[in-house]
Structure 1
Amino acid sequence: MKNGQATVQEKTIVGKIATFLRHEITTTNYRAGAHLKESQISAEFGVSRVPVREAFRILQSEGYLEVIPNRGSFVKPISLSYIKETSIVYKQLAPIILEKAIPNYRESTYKKAFNLLEKIEKSTDFTNVGYMLWDFARVIYGPSKYDFMLCIFDDIYSHSIRLLSEFFKNAETKQYKVESHYEFLHLCKQGKKDEAIKYWSDFIGNMSNIAVALAEKK
């Protein structure tokens, strides 16, 4: 029983460390190329290096870290090719998912979506904005029940927040415009599914171009 409890506790610690590091990387507190040291992280959490090493492995598998032999673990840059590839995948999958999702929207779906947009409009915290946009995506795509494709979108959004953080740090305005999000929802409520999908596809196409342009400047 004690061994089982220790295993659960160890997994919990690994999860906490991984969540912390993921957040620090996503918000660019740990920037691309930063050297993450096991000794420093273990001291910060008051644990041995074992759970830290396991957390590093998790983040490496998720694409947040890269391990360089004889040098250590470093925050992995988001490559231009990755952005281009995810843009292609997103633009291809979004219409398919929405085709199935929109007919399943309920009043509660719209309520959640509009509440998120109101919060985004009022927020000047780029970290919160990024996560709320991720939540918005889950609201509008979730009713499709396409679990595999939704997991792909989760991966895309988790890394896109890093780009959004860079954008906000360099932008003159600290507010994210959501007019297109409102228009999409209004079209859906009016029963104009095909028009809504086309409108949203055009919007994400433009956003993808902006993301690529931003990455090319770095």
Structure 2
Amino acid sequence: MKERTKKITAKTLSMKVADKIRNEIIFGNYKEGERIIEQNLSEEFGVSRIPIREAIRLLESEGFLEISPYKGSIVREITPQSFNETQIMRISIVPTLLQHALPNYTATTIKQAEELIYKTEQNLSSTTFMHFIVKMQDLMYGPCKMPYFLHIAEVVLKRHLMVLNIYFNSFKENDFSFDGYRTFFEICKNKQHDEAIAYWTETIKVQYQLINEAFIKWYEAKSNVAF
């Protein structure tokens, strides 16, 4: 059963609507190829169709939706090529974010990260782990104080989460590990910034290889069923 917030306030309506739809896509409530019907969303969120259309245009530009001549707005299919593109962007962005963020880390930053790891471990599931990743990104990269760059990083991460949702739920490989995060913040405690950047960049590359192998198997199996 889908649970969605019905009313929307503050920020801009279109951005709020986009946030809601994006999260529904990331967590699998809207499936690949599913139609996004403006009238239904307008009634569901309690807003006019104008911010709905603006939100759809935004999500199309981010790669979450596509406009089909016959179906209208639909959830974009995730392909190995688009996943690979997302990972290239992540690997390119992360070192720069950390280069500007690490000098602004405080003892509080590291304490919050450690507390987040502990709390997630106490109630661990694929959903809580994905929420953990989103919150951890804010802690790790937020101190860079580069709003536009952070926005790009957020979009890239959420496209990545679409694949993680498939990976965690389809392959039952729920051996979630926090070791990489712990090691990263231990390095940060010693203010070894270059080492921390190198370590985390390599960690992302290794994670990508593992997830990509599983994702390609899932995608090929799905394509074979379709034909």
Q: Give the alignment's TM-score, normalised by structure 1.
A: 0.82
What amino acid maps onto 1:155 in structure 2?
A: V
Give % identity. 33
State the alpha-carbon separation in 2 of the partners of residues 31 and 162 from structure 1: 10
Asked if structure 2 preserves the Cα contact closer than 8 Å seen for 1:86 and 1:156, the reply is yes
User: Compared with structure 1, are the counterparts of its residues 43 and 206 closer, same or farther at alpha carbon in structure 2 (3 Å cutoff)?
Assistant: same
What amino acid maps onto 2:112 in structure 1?
A: K
Asked if structure 1 preserves the Cα contact closer than 8 Å seen for 2:14 and 2:55, the reply is yes
Asked if structure 2 preserves the Cα contact closer than 8 Å seen for 1:35 and 1:72, the reply is yes
Aligned to 2:5: none
Aligned to 2:140: 140
What amino acid maps onto 1:154 in structure 2?
A: E
State the alpha-carbon separation in 1 of the partners of residues 45 and 99 from structure 2: 46
Q: State the number of aligned residues.
A: 211
User: Compared with structure 1, are the counterparts of its residues 120 and 53 closer, same or farther at alpha carbon in structure 2 (3 Å cutoff)?
Assistant: same
Asked if structure 2 preserves the Cα contact closer than 8 Å seen for 1:124 and 1:174, the reply is no
Aligned to 2:100: 100
2:28 is equivalent to residue 28 of structure 1: yes
State the alpha-carbon separation in 2 of the partners of residues 213 and 197 from structure 1: 25
User: Compared with structure 1, are the counterparts of its residues 143 and 69 closer, same or farther at alpha carbon in structure 2 (3 Å cutoff)?
Assistant: same
Aligned-pair Cα RMSD in Å = 2.6
User: Compared with structure 1, are the counterparts of its residues 109 and 10 closer, same or farther at alpha carbon in structure 2 (3 Å cutoff)?
Assistant: closer
Aligned to 1:189: 189
| Cα deviation, residue 166, structure 1 | 1.0
Larger Rg: 1
What amino acid maps onto 1:70 in structure 2?
A: Y
Runs of 4+ in structure 1 off by over 6 angstroms are 8-11
User: Compared with structure 1, are the counterparts of its residues 89 and 21 closer, same or farther at alpha carbon in structure 2 (3 Å cutoff)?
Assistant: closer
Asked if structure 2 preserves the Cα contact closer than 8 Å seen for 1:101 and 1:143, the reply is yes
Aligned to 1:171: 171
Q: Residue 73 of structure 2: SS of its match in structure 1? A: strand
Aligned to 1:5: none
2:124 is equivalent to residue 124 of structure 1: yes
User: For 1:191-214, what per-residue CA distance to the aligned partner results, in whole angstroms no more than 9, with x for missing partners?
Assistant: 333332222121111112223223
State the alpha-carbon separation in 2 of the partners of residues 63 and 137 from structure 1: 20
Aligned to 2:67: 67
Q: Residue 35 of structure 1: SS of its match in structure 2? A: coil
Aligned to 1:4: none
Q: Residue 111 of structure 1: SS of its match in structure 2? A: helix
Gaps of 5+ in 1: 1-7
Q: Give the alignment's TM-score, normalised by structure 2.
A: 0.80
What amino acid maps onto 2:97 in structure 1?
A: I
User: For 1:9-53, what per-residue CA distance to the aligned partner results, in whole angstroms no more than 9, with x for missing partners?
Assistant: 798554443333222111011111112223333343455544433
Q: Residue 77 of structure 1: SS of its match in structure 2? A: coil
Q: Residue 36 of structure 1: SS of its match in structure 2? A: coil
State the alpha-carbon separation in 2 of the partners of residues 9 and 157 from structure 1: 25
User: Compared with structure 1, are the counterparts of its residues 67 and 177 closer, same or farther at alpha carbon in structure 2 (3 Å cutoff)?
Assistant: same
